[in-house]
Amino acid sequence: MDDYDNESISVAEALRRIESDLIPITESVQVALRSALGQVLAQDVCSPINVPAFPNSAMDGYALRHCDAAAPRLRVVGTAFAGKPYAQVIHLDECLRIFTGAMLPEGADTVVMQEYVQTDGESIQLTTACTLGQFVIKVGDDVKAGQIILRAGKRLLPADLGLLASLGITEVAVKRRLRVAYFSTGDELCALGEVPKPSQIYDSNRYSLAGLLSRLNMDGLDMGIIPDDPVAVENAFSHAARDCDAIITSGGVSVGDADFVTTVLRKIGQIHFWKIAMKPGRPLTFGKIQKVVFFGLSGNPVSMISTFYQFVQPALRYLQGQQKVQALRFQVPCLSPLKKLQGRVEFQRGILVPDEQGKLSVRSTGKQAANMLSSVSQANCFIVLPVECREVAVGDVVWVEPFEGLI
Ligand code: AMP
Ligand code: MG
């Protein structure tokens, strides 16, 4: 069997079309360092200082003048600790007891490790030769004053906050957070806290979306459940479009009678409707209501999540001005036999597990139906099966994409 559909477009092509239609926001806000985690840097950051700002020792040992290294004995004139420098100059045939991170005294240019010294407490003798400048961390070794240390568009990680702090920087300009409104559509949906009528199901998509958006450090605006009614859908869109950068809906994008998302969008905005050569999540609606970006995702809980990861997440990152980042994908042996149809990419749910040696393999979560949210919950990655693949035998190598990458 073949699932080739000559009207469908590839995942990469859909993403390219989406991004070519987006203009990254330019507004930024100044925030304290601690609040900048996960936010997108709005400007390049240049270092105002050299790091280190003074020459210091990389080892516990003795600081000396390299030209005195061959002397039979060097007199120990004092001690320098990290944060407690020795204030005087090192002269001929003198040395200084020095500890890691301590400032190198004037005159000294070399540090000898304590392991290569014989000492009687008052003087030392070197037991090996040393090279000029060894174990001295020079001014600006790590970062030079004026050097660009972080580029605009970087999403700030914990070490970035530490790096900025090491430069004495207390606040940074970051892109403002995106406001992303989302709602679910469907008469069959029951909000949490209400009692479902027979034939109703609980609305789960808004909770998955809340989590997905919060992981992106974006402000999600929960607009609730919209019934399958064109007036209600139009009112909800118009209301949401006043106050956000993007709208995500789930449900109501198939071409069934009760699917009003596309008809309303066509009326009040611009719309693209694509069949994507992927499973799950084939139909994708992308459009705009004035400047507000619109994503209409399938209501199927699994499709909704896989299309979010493939399209909405990169698009929202781009819209916020984040540098382009490639999703982390790598190959591992597969422990389960897999089947698929040709003609589309499949994002099956997998569990990436290390063996006793730490080598990773992936196994399937089992049944891959698009309504089985429990299979996504058990999974920690997608097993990405390319268009031409038909089946995977146990031991075959497959591509995986972890849900949480390095970015
Ligand atoms: P639709 O995209 O509206 O055709 O919905 C596809 C399937 O997903 C149907 O079985 C819906 O009942 C289900 N569904 C739609 N929206 C949600 C939701 N918010 N939470 C859970 N299931 C949903
Ligand atoms: Mg529906």
CATH number at residue 400: 2.40.340.10
The pLDDT of residue 255: 64
Whether residues 133 and 237 fall in one domain: no
Atom of ligand 1 nearest to the CA of 253: 2
* Residue of minimum CA distance from atom 16 in ligand 1: 299
208 lines ligand 1 (CB under 6 A): no
The pLDDT of residue 1: 43
299 lines ligand 1 (CB under 6 A): yes
Pick the last residue of a domain from 124, 158, 175. Answer: 175
249 lines ligand 1 (CB under 6 A): no
Q: Phi/psi at 118 (nearest 5 deg)?
A: -105, 135
* Residue of minimum CA distance from atom 17 in ligand 1: 299
Whether residues 93 and 229 fall in one domain: no
Q: Tell me, what CATH number does 196's domain have?
A: 3.40.980.10
110 lines ligand 1 (CB under 6 A): no
* Residue of minimum CA distance from atom 10 in ligand 1: 300
199 found inside a domain: yes
Pick the last residue of a domain from 84, 109, 137. Answer: 137
* Residue of minimum CA distance from atom 7 in ligand 1: 300
298 lines ligand 1 (CB under 6 A): yes
* Residue of minimum CA distance from atom 23 in ligand 1: 299
Whether residues 169 and 185 fall in one domain: no
The pLDDT of residue 283: 83
Q: What is the pLDDT of residues 32-45, one digit of tens each?
A: 999 999 999 999 99
Is the pLDDT reported for residue 2 higher than 70? Answer: no
Is the pLDDT reported for residue 259 higher than 90? Answer: no
Q: Determine contact, residues 270/287, Cβ cutoff 8 Å.
A: yes
Among 250, 273, 282, 308, name the best residue to mutate to test ligand 1's pocket (greatest count of ligand atoms within 8 A of Cβ).
250
Atom of ligand 1 nearest to the CA of 256: 4
Is the pLDDT reported for residue 397 higher than 50? Answer: yes
Cα 274 to ligand 1 centre (Å): 19
188 lines ligand 1 (CB under 6 A): yes
2 found inside a domain: no
369 lines ligand 1 (CB under 6 A): no
Whether residues 196 and 289 fall in one domain: yes
Tell me how many domains the chain contains. 4
Mean pLDDT for the stretch of residues 4-28: 90
Whether residues 311 and 205 fall in one domain: yes
The pLDDT of residue 325: 84
280 lines ligand 1 (CB under 6 A): no
324 found inside a domain: no
1 found inside a domain: no
Whether residues 210 and 315 fall in one domain: yes
Cα 228 to ligand 1 centre (Å): 12
200 lines ligand 1 (CB under 6 A): no
Whether residues 213 and 301 fall in one domain: yes
- For residue 304, which ligand has an atom nearest its CA? 1
Q: What is the pLDDT of residues 44-66, one digit of tens each?
A: 999 999 999 999 999 999 999 99
Whether residues 230 and 311 fall in one domain: yes
127 versus 273: which is more confidently predicted? Answer: 127
Cα 196 to ligand 1 centre (Å): 15
Cα 293 to ligand 2 centre (Å): 21
- Cα–Cα distance between 88 and 104 in angstroms, integer? 10
Cα 34 to ligand 2 centre (Å): 42
Q: Phi/psi at 320 (nearest 5 deg)?
A: -80, -10
Q: What is the pLDDT of residues 199-228, one digit of tens each?
A: 999 999 999 999 999 999 999 999 999 998
Mean pLDDT for the stretch of residues 63-78: 96
Residue range(s) defining the domain that contains residue 84: 56-137
Mean pLDDT for the stretch of residues 368-378: 90
Q: Tell me, what CATH number does 91's domain have?
A: 2.170.190.11
- Cα–Cα distance between 395 and 76 in angstroms, integer? 65
Q: What is the pLDDT of residues 83-93, one digit of tens each?
A: 999 999 999 99
The pLDDT of residue 195: 96
